[in-house]
C-alpha cells in the first residue's frame, strides 16, 4: 500500500560517502538488493527472509532499508504496527538523506498514534521534508497555514505551497492522465449504498457487452480508461473494448481510440497520423470529443501545421455541445491570447462552466486566475481551494482507495493509519473517516479505549474536517462541546458550531439543535421566538423530523404562553428567575394530589 506513495521521492542515490568505508557500503547495499529481489517474487514465503535482509541492512545504516522497514511498521502492511520501532529506523537516517524519513516522523509526532503527540516536532520534520522538496510535506504544511492548526494562519504561504504541488500534479497528469479522487464518507450510508450500486452497474455493463450491446462495450472501455466505479485504470484493456465498438462505427469509441494513439500506451504505439484519421472519422458524426482533440492537434501542431483559427473552430464546435474539455480549451485560448485577443473575463466564463466536472486543468487554471486577479477579484483563499483540490489528485490519492478497501475488509487498523496519514495532508474525507473509526471501533494496537483519549483524538479529526466546511463534522464538534466529551461542557462553542453547520449546508439536525439551545438559553440568550424559527426551518428541510419538531414547537408555544402569564402576574417578583422550576414543582404537586384523590375514592 505505502510503497507506491511517492516513488519519485523515494528514489534516493546511495553513495559510499554515506558509510565509514566501502566494505560496509557494499555489504549493506548487497543485503538491501537481496531483500528487494525476494519481495518482487510472487511467492510470499520469501518475505520472512527478505525482511531479515532488510533488518541487517538497516543495522548497517542503509537509508532505504531503514525507510522501508519504518513504513512497514508504520502502515502495518507486512510487519506488526509499531510506530516506536518505525521512529527508531527513521532516526537512523542522516538528516539530509531522505525527505520521506522526515515526512513519516512528522506524521508519527503529529498523529500521536502509538506515541506521545508532539506538534512542534511534527512541524519541524514536515519543514525539513518540504525543504528537501517532498510534495506531501508541502501539503501538510500548507493545510496547517490555511486553517491555523498549530500555526498562525498565513494564506500566502499556503498558496505558494499548494501551487507548487498542484503544478507538479498537472505536469504528471499530462503523462498519466491524472488520478480520480475516490472520496467516500464512512458515516454516510447513502455513499455506501452508492458503492454497492456501482458494482451492480459494472456487472450490468458486462452482461450487456457479452450480448453485443455497443453502448455497454463503450461504457466498459470508459470505465477502464478513467478508472471509475471501482474499476482499476487499465488503458490497454480499454483499447480492446473501444476497438470492438469502433468496428460498428461508434463515434465515441473512434474518438477514444484516437486519444490513445495520440499519446500511446503499453500496447499501442504513438501514431499521430492514425490519431488524426480516427478523430476525423469521429468528427464527421459531430462528436465533441473528437472535435476537441482535433483542436488540440492544430493548437500544438501534432501531425499537422499549427493553426489557431482551426483550433478555435473545433473547440467552439465542441463547446456548443457542452463538452467540458472543449469549453476548457477555449477558455485557455482566451487566457493565452492564441488566435483571439486575450480576454480573462471570457476565459473565466468558460472555465466556470467546467468546474462541476472537477476537471484537473479547470481547477488549476481558475486557481491561477484567482491568484493573480485576472478577470476576477484577487482572492487567496479561493485560489488555495482550487490548488488544494488539484494537489489532492496526485499519486498519493491512490492511498485513499486502498484505505476504503481495507475498511471494507475489516482491516480497521490499516484503514485508520492510512486515513490519519491523509488527514495530515488535508484530505477532508480522510479526516472525518479517521474520527468515525476512532469513535466506533476498538483497535487494540492503539491503546485508546480510554474515553478521554478516544474522544480527544476523534475531536481532533472532526475539528479538521469541520474547518473545511463539512456540516456533519461541525455538528459532531458541537455535540462534543455540548456533552463535554473531550473537555468541559462549553455551550457557547456548541452553539457556534451548530450555527456554522446550519449556515453551510442548511442541516436539519443543526437547525433543530440550535432551536433547542435558544429554547433553553444554552450558550445563547433564551428566546422562544428564535427557537420556533429554527424548529420550523428544520422541519422544512427534513420532512422526517416533522413529528419531533411538532412536539418541540408545541412545548415552546406552551412555555411562551406561560411566560406571558407569569410576566403579567409579575410572578418573578416572588419566585425570581427560576419561576419555571417552581411552576413545574407546583404542577407536580397538583397532579400528585389529583392522583391521590382518585385512588382514595376508588
Task: Give per-residue pLDDT as tens, 26-81.
Answer: 888 899 998 888 888 877 777 888 899 999 999 988 999 999 999 999 999 889 99
**Residue 40 and residue 77 share a domain:** yes
CB neighbours (10 Å) of residue 30? 13
Q: Give me the number of domains the chain comprises.
A: 4
What burial letters (b/e) apply to 397-414, b meaning 16+ CB within 10 Å? bbbbbbbbbbbeeebbbb
What's residue 17's pLDDT? Answer: 47
Task: Give per-residue pLDDT as tens, 431-490.
Answer: 999 999 999 998 888 877 777 888 999 999 999 999 999 999 999 999 999 999 988 899
**Residue 312 and residue 231 share a domain:** yes
**Residue 28 and residue 56 share a domain:** yes
**Residue 123 and residue 253 share a domain:** no
In a domain, residue 434? The reply is no
Backbone φ and ψ of 249, nearest 5° = 80, 20
84, 115, 130 - which closes a domain: 130
CA distances (Å), 459 to each of 299, 475, 589, in order?
51, 11, 44
Q: Could you give the 3-state DSSP secondary structure of residue 98?
A: coil
Residue 162, exposed/middle/buried by CB under 10 A (0-12, 13-18, 19+)?
buried
In a domain, residue 450? The reply is no
**C-alpha cell recorded at residue 386:** 482550487
What's residue 558's pLDDT? Answer: 64
**Residue 195 and residue 109 share a domain:** no
**Residue 333 and residue 206 share a domain:** yes
In a domain, residue 397? The reply is no
DSSP-derived letter for residue 341 is -
**Residue 598 and residue 564 share a domain:** no
The rounded distance, in Å, linking the Cα atoms of 306 and 299 is: 6
What's residue 5's pLDDT? Answer: 42
Task: Give per-residue pLDDT as tens, 250-292.
Answer: 999 999 999 999 988 888 999 999 999 999 999 999 999 999 9
Q: What angle separates helix 47-59 from helix 63-75, to the nearest 10 degrees?
A: 130
**Residue 259 and residue 232 share a domain:** yes
In a domain, residue 172? The reply is no
Q: Kindly report the three-state secondary structure assignment for every residue of 53-89.
A: HHHHHHHCCCHHHHHHHHHHHHHCCCCCCCHHHHHHH
The rounded distance, in Å, linking the Cα atoms of 179 and 228 is: 10
The rounded distance, in Å, linking the Cα atoms of 161 and 143 is: 9
CATH code, 539: 1.25.40.10
In a domain, residue 414? The reply is no
**Residue 87 and residue 42 share a domain:** yes
Helix and strand counts by DSSP (H, E) for the chain: 31, 0
174 membership: H or E segment, kind and range: helix 155-176
In a domain, residue 317? The reply is yes
364, 379, 394 - which closes a domain: 379
The rounded distance, in Å, linking the Cα atoms of 302 and 300 is: 6
| pTM of the predicted protein model | 0.83
**Residue 560 and residue 597 share a domain:** no
The rounded distance, in Å, linking the Cα atoms of 593 and 591 is: 5
In a domain, residue 509? The reply is yes
For every residue of 480-505, DSSP letters joined together read HHHHTSSSS--HHHHHHHHHHHHHHH
What's residue 160's pLDDT? Answer: 98
Name which of 591, 583, 542 is nearest 566 in CA terms.
583
Q: Collect the ranges in the chain with pLDDT lower than 50.
A: 1-17, 193, 197
Beta-sheet strands, E only, within 316-398 = none
Contact of 580 with 562, CB cutoff 8 Å: yes
**Residue 215 and residue 327 share a domain:** yes
What's residue 539's pLDDT? Answer: 78
83, 110, 130 - which closes a domain: 130
DSSP-derived letter for residue 61 is T
For every residue of 229-259, DSSP letters joined together read TTPPP-HHHHHHHHHHHHTTT-HHHHHHHHH
**Residue 594 and residue 548 share a domain:** no
- Residue 599's domain spans which residues? 571-602
In a domain, residue 529? The reply is yes
The rounded distance, in Å, linking the Cα atoms of 78 and 73 is: 8
Amino acid at each position: 500500500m505505502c510503497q507506491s506513495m511517492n516513488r519519485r521521492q523515494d528514489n534516493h542515490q546511495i553513495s559510499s560517502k554515506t558509510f565509514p568505508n566501502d566494505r560496509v557500503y557494499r555489504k549493506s547495499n548487497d543485503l538491501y538488493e537481496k531483500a528487494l529481489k525476494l519481495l518482487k517474487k510472487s511467492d510470499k514465503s520469501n518475505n520472512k527472509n527478505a525482511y531479515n535482509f532488510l533488518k541487517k541492512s538497516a543495522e548497517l545504516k542503509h537509508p532505504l532499508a531503514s525507510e522501508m522497514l519504518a513504513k512497514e511498521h508504520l502502515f502495518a502492511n507486512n510487519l506488526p504496527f509499531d510506530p516506536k520501532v518505525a521512529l527508531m529506523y527513521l532516526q537512523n537516517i542522516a538528516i539530509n538523506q531522505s525527505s520521506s524519513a522526515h515526512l513519516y516522523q512528522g506524521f508519527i509526532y503529529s498523529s500521536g498514534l502509538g506515541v506521545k503527540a508532539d506538534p512542534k516536532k511534527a512541524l519541524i520534520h514536515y519543514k525539513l521534508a518540504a525543504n528537501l522538496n517532498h510534495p506531501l510535506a508541502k501539503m501538510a504544511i500548507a493545510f496547517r497555514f490555511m486553517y491555523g492548526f498549530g500555526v498562525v494562519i498565513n494564506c500566502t504561504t499556503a498558496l505558494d505551497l499548494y501551487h507548487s504541488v498542484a503544478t507538479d500534479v498537472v505536469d504528471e497528469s499530462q503523462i498519466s492522465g491524472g488520478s480520480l479522487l475516490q472520496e467516500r464518507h464512512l458515516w454516510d450510508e447513502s455513499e455506501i449504498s452508492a458503492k454497492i450500486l456501482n458494482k451492480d452497474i459494472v456487472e450490468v455493463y458486462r452482461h450487456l457487452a457479452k450480448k453485443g450491446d455497443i453502448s455497454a462495450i463503450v461504457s466498459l472501455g470508459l470505465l477502464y480508461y478513467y478508472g471509475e466505479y471501482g474499476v482499476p485504470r487499465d488503458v490497454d484493456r480499454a483499447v480492446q473494448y473501444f476497438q470492438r465498438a469502433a468496428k460498428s462505427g461508434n463515434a465515441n469509441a473512434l474518438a477514444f481510440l484516437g486519444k490513445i494513439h495520440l499519446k500511446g500506451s503499453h500496447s499501442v504505439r504513438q501514431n499521430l497520423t492514425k490519431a488524426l484519421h480516427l478523430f476525423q472519422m469521429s468528427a464527421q458524426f459531430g462528436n465533441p470529443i473528437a472535435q476537441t482533440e482535433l483542436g488540440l492537434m492544430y493548437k500544438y501542431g501534432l501531425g499537422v501545421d499549427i493553426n489557431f483559427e482551426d483550433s478555435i473552430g473545433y473547440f467552439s464546435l465542441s463547446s456548443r455541445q457542452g463538452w467540458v474539455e472543449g469549453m476548457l480549451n477555449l477558455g485557455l485560448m482566451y487566457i493565452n491570447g492564441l488566435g483571439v485577443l486575450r480576454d480573462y473575463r471570457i476565459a473565466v466564463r468558460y472555465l466556470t462552466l467546467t468546474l462541476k466536472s472537477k476537471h484537473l486543468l479547470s481547477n488549476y487554471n481558475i486557481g491561477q486566475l484567482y491568484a493573480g486577479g485576472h478577470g476576477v477579484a484577487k482572492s487567496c483563499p479561493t485560489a488555495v481551494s482550487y490548488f488544494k483540490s488539484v494537489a489532492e489528485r496526485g499519486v498519493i490519492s491512490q492511498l485513499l482507495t486502498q484505505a476504503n478497501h481495507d475498511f471494507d475488509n475489516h482491516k480497521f487498523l490499516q484503514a485508520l493509519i492510512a486515513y490519519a496519514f491523509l488527514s495530515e495532508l488535508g484530505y477532508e474525507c480522510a479526516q472525518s473517516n479517521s474520527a468515525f473509526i476512532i469513535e466506533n471501533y476498538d483497535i487494540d494496537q492503539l491503546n485508546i479505549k480510554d474515553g478521554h483519549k478516544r474522544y480527544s483524538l476523534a475531536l481532533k479529526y472532526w475539528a479538521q474536517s469541520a474547518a473545511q466546511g463539512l456540516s456533519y463534522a461541525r455538528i459532531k464538534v458541537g455535540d462534543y462541546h455540548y456533552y463535554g466529551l473531550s473537555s468541559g461542557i462549553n455551550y457557547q462553542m456548541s452553539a457556534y458550531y451548530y450555527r456554522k453547520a446550519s449556515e453551510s449546508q442548511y442541516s436539519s439536525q443543526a437547525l433543530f439543535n440550535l432551536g433547542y439551545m435558544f429554547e433553553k438559553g444554552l450558550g445563547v440568550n433564551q428566546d422562544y421566538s428564535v427557537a420556533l424559527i429554527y424548529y420550523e426551518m428544520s422541519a422544512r428541510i427534513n420532512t422526517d423530523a416533522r413529528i419531533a419538531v411538532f412536539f418541540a414547537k408545541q412545548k415552546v408555544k406552551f412555555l411562551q404562553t406561560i411566560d406571558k402569564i407569569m410576566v403579567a402576574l409579575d410572578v418573578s417578583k416572588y419566585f425570581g428567575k427560576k419561576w419555571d422550576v417552581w411552576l413545574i414543582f407546583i404542577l407536580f404537586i397538583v397532579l400528585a394530589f389529583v392522583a391521590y384523590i382518585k385512588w382514595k375514592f376508588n
